[in-house]
Structure 1
Amino acid sequence: MPIETITKAGRRRYRWTFERVIEGSRVRKAKLLPAGLSAKQADELGRKWDAETYALHTGVTKAVVTIGDCVLVHVTDKGADWKDGRKRALILEKWGPEYATQDATDLHAWSIRFVGYMRASLDHLGRPKRPLSDAAIRNVLAYIRAAIKYAFKIGHIEVDQTARMVIPTVNNERHHYPQRKEMLEIARACLSRDREVRAAIRIAFYSGMRRGEILRAKPTRYGFSLDDTKNGRPRIIPIHPRVAVLARRMRFTLTVKQFEEGWKRARTAAGYPDTKFHDLRHGAASEMINAGIDLFTVGGVLGHKSVVSTKRYSHLVTDRLAAAVGKIGQKRGNPV
């Protein structure tokens, strides 16, 4: 059998070995299998590598499918449907030299090297480069992983080894929930030329919409209408009475860059330099929960596709949960 069991760093691992005389020449190869494989999986992978090695040395070479091949077919087939298509294409193009020739079924060691290079402050020639944060690295690898999974789905590769990729974990959840006072102070700090920013600040707090949603929402008699949202579903957000006039009169014409500049000026002038515009969305959720609205309904207002997204606010209902538990065993009107 080509598979043998070894111990590496105190853990049991499988190693594939190949030693055979092929057309008068002795061929020797060895490779450590990805961690976590069962004996059956290791044996199957070993047989596969046996066949590929034999084919390679008898002239019947089986072409290696590279990550570059997977990315190309993914972009070609699905790129037109991506909302972030241009951004994704630029990122994949930038890092192409690092993955273009890499075997798409041998990802573990490569992903470790790739992450290390993206974190490094020097390039391969020793020149200074900007290291990426773990969040940015995770995004790059997510694009590559999606391409490999798609290639496996359509039969372009035989094995999906993306589970072997080493991807940094990131916890970038913010827990800043601006209250009405903070929102109003930032809005009032807007310059006269930033009236659209001032309006968007108030709308964000009273609707929970994202910046991009506010800029493209269409006010109707039923509420703010969004044909296209982050979760891919259209939705209607009721218009709060306090922004009803703004909804009818305001038409947003600012570019994203102009909007960001106006927002940063206002938050700094108001004394909240670290508050992000997206925090206003969290503030809206906090206001609803504090008013007794259940998480399911809050998620519906915010446009969450999954309850997992809304769970980030679950700690805000702790007091109400304690009050609910306190009612256990009580008779109506007669506390026990």
Structure 2
Amino acid sequence: MANIEKRISNDGKTSYRVKIRLKGFPSQSATFERLTDAKKWAQQTESAIREGRHFKTTEAKRHTLAEMIDRYCRDVLPSKKSAKDQTQQLAWWKSEIGSYSLADITPSLIGECRDKLGREITIRNKLRSPASVVRYMAALSHALTIAVKEWGWIEDNPMRKVTKPKESRGRVRFLSDDERMRLLKACKESSNPYLYCVVVLALSTGMRQGEIMGLTWDVVDLNQGRAILHETKNGERRAVAITGHALELLKALSKVRRIDCNLLFPAKEKAPQKPQKSMDLRTPWETAVKKAELHDFKFHDLRHSAASYLAMNGASLAEIAEVLGHKTLQMVKRYAHLSEGHTARVVESMNTKIFGDV
């Protein structure tokens, strides 16, 4: 029930104080200069309270986007593997529209920021790719979703109504036989004692750089020829088969492993009272790539190479997805053209069986 009280100040100005009291809800009040505005607010607010809309809107007006991002970075982000990248991405959103209240974060405002992201020149003097813009949007979207589901700060995620940039087809850069031989030779000649083993592991298993550098001896079973990855990009535990030359290298490495560290590929020295870190791969890797005279080749392309070799040797897309640790086939469809010969053989076999006697 709304109650409107007329007030006259010492200087003769008239105002109207509105109070709304509904059983089961905290009282609400506001002051207006005109009686019509007071009655309109009372009617709208009472209706919103009864329909369960009022307090959600109030929370959205009470908090800014910057407050939401700060809380998300403090309470949620530390448990995520991509915390470093997302911290940087969320900092961009905070600098652009952090002062806006959550009630004012509309799809159109986010759309303007999306377009600006695509036009900005990065520190590498390049425009952001559509895939990079999508990652920026995904970082903010998850924070907004948490604000909806867990904090009750907003009623809906405005990002749901914003169109994402169309990403380019997945990169498929893999080593030719000659390139592979040159790279392995350069890695074997590297001054870094671990580089050759790391690259062979990447080529033979398709593991990501972070997965390889995070390997510890307690998750590697040399007898069974496998490693159990407890922390992966998709959040699921994965068993990785290690066979052939890669397994031989790990067995040899286990005989000379450092006793003060459980990592397979540790840094040279352990800082006092600090946890052991894996070796710095960047410099030896870039040196080997340059020495092997490889053009436009990144460490992650070793993973593409492994997948490509699997496809060319008859592995199905489902098998490639299982080896790489993808939940769906979407990510491995980029290798489909490499297994066309295998597909043709399957179709030929099927046709022979059903039409062989015709």
Instruction: Tell me the TM-score normalised to structure 1 length.
Output: 0.72
- Shift in CA distance, 232/51, structure 1 to aligned 2, threshold 3 Å: closer
- Shift in CA distance, 256/136, structure 1 to aligned 2, threshold 3 Å: farther
Which amino acid counterpart does residue 245 of structure 1 have in structure 2?
A: E
Partner of 1:290: 312
1:151 to 147, 151, 154: 147
- Aligned equivalents of 1:272, 1:204: Cα separation in 2: 17
- Aligned equivalents of 2:191, 2:298: Cα separation in 1: 20
Partner of 1:41: none
1:201 to 189, 199, 209: 199
Deviations along 1:180-235, one digit per CA (max 9) or x if unpaired, are: 44222102113431331122111111111111212222431221232211122222
- Shift in CA distance, 89/24, structure 1 to aligned 2, threshold 3 Å: same
Partner of 1:67: 65
- Aligned equivalents of 1:332, 1:24: Cα separation in 2: 85
In the alignment, is residue 299 of structure 1 matched against residue 328 of structure 2? no
* Superposition CA RMSD, Å: 3.5
Which amino acid counterpart does residue 240 of structure 2 have in structure 1?
A: I
In the alignment, is residue 210 of structure 1 matched against residue 221 of structure 2? no
In the alignment, is residue 324 of structure 1 matched against residue 327 of structure 2? no
- Shift in CA distance, 118/283, structure 1 to aligned 2, threshold 3 Å: closer
Partner of 2:82: 84
Residues 1-336 of structure 1: matches in 2 within 5 Å?
Answer: 23=34, 64=61, 65-105=63-103, 106-120=105-119, 132-154=128-150, 155-171=152-168, 173-190=170-187, 191-217=189-215, 218=217, 219-220=220-221, 221-222=223-224, 223-250=226-253, 251-254=264-267, 258-331=280-353, 334=356, 336=358
Instruction: Indicate the SS of the match to 1:212.
Output: helix
Deviations along 1:53-106, one digit per CA (max 9) or x if unpaired, are: xxxxxxx97761432233234334322311122442243234412121224354
- Aligned equivalents of 1:63, 1:334: Cα separation in 2: 69
Q: Which has the larger radius of gyration?
A: 2
Which amino acid counterpart does residue 158 of structure 2 have in structure 1?
A: Q
Instruction: Work out whether residues 104 and 148 of structure 1, in 8 Å CA contact, stay in contact via their aligned partners in 2.
Output: no
- Aligned equivalents of 1:92, 1:265: Cα separation in 2: 33
- Structure 2 unaligned blocks of 5 or more: 1-31, 38-43, 50-56, 254-263, 268-276
Moved more, 166-175 or 267-276: 166-175
**How many residues end up aligned between the 2 structures?**
284
Which amino acid counterpart does residue 249 of structure 2 have in structure 1?
A: L
- Shift in CA distance, 131/295, structure 1 to aligned 2, threshold 3 Å: closer
Residue 147 (structure 1) shift: 0.8
Instruction: Tell me the TM-score normalised to structure 2 length.
Output: 0.68
- Structure 1 unaligned blocks of 5 or more: 1-20, 27-46, 53-59, 123-128
Instruction: Indicate the SS of the match to 2:228.
Output: strand
- Aligned equivalents of 1:303, 1:109: Cα separation in 2: 37
- Aligned equivalents of 2:100, 2:178: Cα separation in 1: 54
